[in-house]
Amino acid sequence: MNKYFILRRNCPSCGCNDGIQLCRIAYSNSTLHEYLINFYKFQGGIEFKYLQDQDYILFECSVCGLIYQKEIPNDFLMHKLYNIWIDPQKCFDLYEKSRGIEYFAYLSSEIVDIIKHFDQPPTDLKFLDFSMGWGHWCQIAQSFGCTVHGTEYSQSRIDYARSKGINVISYSEIANHRYDFINTEQVFEHLPDIRTTVNFLIKSLKSNGIIKINVPNGWNIKKRLEKWDWTALKGSNDSLNPVAPLEHINCFDHHSLIELATHSGLVSIALQKKVESNTRNISKSLKKRLKRIISFPLKHLDSTRQSLNPLQELTIDKGTYMFFKLP
């Protein structure tokens, strides 16, 4: 291991040190090398001198089933990765500027569902978006009248969000507040110490508060690793994005996400959504969810969910998009 990496001796979710190595390959391997060049060339660019004499190692915890990268970038390299190899301005120009109405409509629809669940005026609700990115979710929740805080690692994104009127707070300031809802969207796959983070966050939930955790679903990642196709596009059947080197250092499936939450005393819930009667209005988003449900193996569904009727099924999110609360 080189000096820019640190070893995770134990599973970052359950703390167990028992597991099996799924793969170990040098970052200098030609396939990985090419993947990394292509992945970062438009976002900023990678500097291989920091990856010399370093292996990409995937472990599977034998207790909770989390698949995780055993050696991860230290603070210095993390900063380099998220600020230089991924250049915020280039990312903004590439992705954020061209986001279409569908993206914002989706965020709005999710926030409406959350507000409906609490059955309170939005002005009575207080939300936190943990690692908010550019702050789009915060802006929309704020426009409904909710009190919204955001946290973020990248200074460029913080500055942008503040310019849009978002109240950005520091990690330590979270402890001074109590929230009805904590949003974590595509965050926990990146965090070195997920157990500490989830325990810290839920201390700031109100008694009936909810935390959302949405992470890439790696339910069949071992099969994808057998194919070892680092050219497979994100979202395709063979994509290895859920175990992306350096960045996706934790790879969850439904089971291991439940295990993380259970260890912290959380229970999963479904939002109390009203089922729409006008199928034309809901057809697009629900068709997408139905596709996900159909393609998801039944063995991954718990017994209570299998007993639900098809319409109820459509109102509950599967896989690794989940809502939790304290009992």
> Considering the complex, what minimum distance in angstroms separates the CB of residue 74 from Zn ion?
22
Of residues 8, 13, 127, 181, which one binds Zn ion by CB under 5 A?
13
Region of 8-16, 43-51, 82-90, 138-146 interacting with Zn ion (CB under 5 A): 8-16
Region of 38-46, 57-65, 163-171, 235-243 interacting with Zn ion (CB under 5 A): 57-65
Distance (Å, whole) CA 312 – CA 305? 9
Coil, strand, or helix at residue 248? coil
Give the residue among 77, 105, 67 at the shortest CA–CA distance from 4.
Answer: 77
- 249 binds Zn ion, rule: CB under 5 A: no
> Considering the complex, what minimum distance in angstroms separates the CB of residue 17 from Zn ion?
9
Is the distance from CB of 113 to CB of 271 less than 8 angstroms? yes
Of residues 5, 14, 152, 166, which one binds Zn ion by CB under 5 A?
14
- 250 binds Zn ion, rule: CB under 5 A: no
> Considering the complex, what minimum distance in angstroms separates the CB of residue 58 from Zn ion?
14
Of residues 6, 25, 63, 84, which one binds Zn ion by CB under 5 A?
63
- 11 binds Zn ion, rule: CB under 5 A: yes
Indicate the residue among 183 and 264 with the shorter CB distance to Zn ion. 264
Phi, psi angles (nearest 5°) of residue 161: -60, -40
Distance (Å, whole) CA 313 – CA 12? 32
> Considering the complex, what minimum distance in angstroms separates the CB of residue 304 from Zn ion?
24
Give the residue among 271, 266, 220 at the shortest CA–CA distance from 109.
Answer: 271
Q: For residue 71, what are its two tokens? A: 């050696």
Instruction: Name the DSSP class of 245.
Output: T
How many residues bind Zn ion, per CB under 5 A? 8
Distance (Å, whole) CA 27 – CA 29? 5
Residue for token pair 């960045």 = 247
> Considering the complex, what minimum distance in angstroms separates the CB of residue 12 from Zn ion?
8
Indicate the residue among 110 and 259 with the shorter CB distance to Zn ion. 259
Which amino acid appears at position 287 of this protein? K
> Considering the complex, what minimum distance in angstroms separates the CB of residue 275 from Zn ion?
36
Region of 56-64, 98-106, 113-121, 226-234 interacting with Zn ion (CB under 5 A): 56-64
Indicate the residue among 8 and 117 with the shorter CB distance to Zn ion. 8
- 266 binds Zn ion, rule: CB under 5 A: no
- 198 binds Zn ion, rule: CB under 5 A: no
Distance (Å, whole) CA 277 – CA 298? 27
Question: Is residue 21 left, alpha or beta, with left meaning phi > 0 and alpha meaning psi from -120 to 50?
Answer: beta
Coil, strand, or helix at residue 44? strand
Give the residue among 284, 292, 283, 281 at the shortest CA–CA distance from 317.
Answer: 292
> What is the footprint of Zn ion within residues 66-125 (CB under 5 A)?
66
Indicate the residue among 13 and 131 with the shorter CB distance to Zn ion. 13
Region of 7-15, 37-45, 131-139, 232-240 interacting with Zn ion (CB under 5 A): 7-15
Indicate the residue among 64 and 293 with the shorter CB distance to Zn ion. 64
Distance (Å, whole) CA 75 – CA 98? 31
H or E stretch at 77: helix 75-80
Phi, psi angles (nearest 5°) of residue 305: -70, -30
Indicate the residue among 44 and 192 with the shorter CB distance to Zn ion. 192
Which stretches of the chain bind Zn ion, using CB under 5 A?
A: 11, 13-14, 16, 61, 63-64, 66
